[in-house]
Amino acid sequence: MKKDNTIYSIDGIPSLGTAIPLGLQHVLAMFAGNVTPLIIIANALGLPIEERTFLIQAAMFVAGITTLIQLYPIGPIGAKLPIVQGTSFGFLPTCLAISAKYGLAGVLGASFIGGFVEIFLGVFLKPLRKYFPPVVTGTVLLSIGLSLLPTGIRYFAGGVGTPDFGSFSNLLLGTIVLATILFFKQFTKGITSMSAILIGLLVGYAVAIPMGKVNFEVVGAAGWVAFPTPLKYGMTFHMDAIIAMLLMYIVTAVETVGDISGITIGGANREATDKELAGGVMADGLGSSIAAIFNVLPTTSFSQNVGIVALTGIMNRFVVAVGAVFLIAAGLFPKVGAVVAIMPQSVLGGAAIVMFSMIAISGINLITKDSLKGKNSITVAVAMGLGFGLGSVPEALVNLPEAMKLIFGGSGIVVTGLIAIFLNIILPEDQEETTIVLQKKVA
């Protein structure tokens, strides 16, 4: 039997026996993060359990559709890279503020308009590309990875708000998953090595059942077939809500540039092309407008899946497409989604620690493509110092206006990206590099 060598080819079509487990690990890695923002919004609005179930179903369906757009572009829209789309955590603070004033309809209206603005940004991304050299995109990517680590640890401990947060059983379960991933990744070869994350999650799921951490009653209560109803909550348009949302769309465009760079540097050891970056950002915007139609918050590229690509080196689009089909199935068949939804968060945490750390490593690899001294070193130092520092100590911004706190607080990615871009523009080139460039021109 001929060996399947298509798995590392971006356009290859590996066998389903290979593609299904690799695609499923992408889904399992992003599932909790994809539904959690909507659960938080639903709880804040006091929506009943039936409405929450509907929103989770819609989030799965939209994630699958928008992922396929990234994989198989519609004209210029789409990166044609193994990017997984899902509901963005970054928009959550802004969406909560808008929903408190205008309800879910106000959030969806602002999200719908904002998506087209991000498409516009993507169209003009090529002339802006010079402002995103490796030192800038690498710094943003490093910031994304580091900012996600606390989230990974919270999952590892059982999930914030759970009664047994930080319990020995949760820490043990996360450790079992982490150890399983390390073993299969480093001590086996072939499909078991490539599927190390999936194997770790499945082992953790199986161990969690006798520990009493999996409640199958949720699966029994879920329906068999249901289609997400478009515009169920309607849309309303309010200028202040739209402006607040637009600022976040600019921020998420920068994050998407970082994620796309992480995909190419981690999976192919190269920088992303202008076409890939522009297409990815435009797909982000279109996906968010589609999401609003289906009652879902804005979508963006998922960093944890960037970590999977960086860890496995597998850039195959078909693999991720298989995962996207599963996401759509989870949206059409609620019982399928429920089986994944009941996975204990500590199981996900064991995998998240590895995946999020690999994002940071990809950022470091990107930053160090050029000499890390002079202008580059000061750019990284100040951007990370202020950005990651303020993200770790958000109370330092307590006296700023609420709008500014929403934009510049939280993870610190926004501050990191803006400072990196600003310093890269205004700081003079190092004298040594300038001399080399001039010598080349003379020669």
Same structural domain, 54 and 110: yes
Rg, Å, the chain Cα set: 21
Of the residues 338, 369, 400, which one is the last residue of a structural domain?
369
Same structural domain, 56 and 188: yes
Establish if 11 belongs to a structural domain: no
Given this model, what pLDDT does residue 112 score?
Answer: 96
Establish if 426 belongs to a structural domain: yes
Q: How many domains does the chain have?
A: 2
Beta bridge partners of 74: 77
Establish if 8 belongs to a structural domain: no
Given this model, what pLDDT does residue 88 score?
Answer: 80
Range(s) of the domain holding residue 163: 16-369
SS3 content of the chain, % helix, strand, coil (to 5): 70, 0, 25
Contacts of 119 (CB under 8 A, 6+ apart): 77, 281, 282, 285, 286
| Residues 327, 331, 332, 335, Cα dihedral to 10° | 90
**How many of the other CB atoms lie within 10 Å of CB of 88?**
27
Same structural domain, 388 and 240: no
CA distance 184 to 166: 26
Establish if 330 belongs to a structural domain: yes
Place of tokens 């009664």: 163
Establish if 1 belongs to a structural domain: no
Establish if 251 belongs to a structural domain: yes
Given this model, what pLDDT does residue 1 score?
Answer: 37
Same structural domain, 256 and 329: yes
Place of tokens 């068999």: 224
Same structural domain, 257 and 381: no
Same structural domain, 179 and 298: yes
Same structural domain, 341 and 438: no
Same structural domain, 265 and 405: no
Same structural domain, 376 and 297: no
The pLDDT tens digits along the chain (443 residues) read 344 567 787 888 888 888 888 888 888 777 767 777 787 677 678 777 677 778 888 998 999 999 999 999 999 999 899 888 988 866 776 787 788 788 899 999 999 999 999 999 898 887 777 777 888 878 877 887 787 788 788 889 988 778 888 899 999 999 999 999 999 888 987 667 767 777 888 899 999 999 888 888 877 877 788 888 899 999 999 887 888 788 678 777 877 887 888 888 877 788 888 899 999 999 999 999 999 999 999 998 887 778 788 777 788 899 999 999 989 988 888 787 677 777 888 888 888 888 778 778 878 887 887 788 888 999 999 999 988 888 778 788 778 776 666 556 556 777 888 888 889 889 888 766 555 444 555 55
Same structural domain, 356 and 378: no
| Strand spans (E) along 255-362 | 299-301
Q: How far is CA 242 from the centre of its chain?
A: 23
CA distance 273 to 169: 45
Given this model, what pLDDT does residue 146 score?
Answer: 83
CA distances for 381 relative to 173, 333, 374, 407, angstroms: 37, 48, 11, 21
Of the residues 354, 369, 384, which one is the last residue of a structural domain?
369
Q: Read off φ and ψ for residue 160, nearest 5 degrees.
A: -60, 135
Same structural domain, 42 and 191: yes
Establish if 394 belongs to a structural domain: yes
Establish if 24 belongs to a structural domain: yes
Of the residues 335, 369, 403, which one is the last residue of a structural domain?
369
Same structural domain, 171 and 34: yes
Place of tokens 């309809």: 105
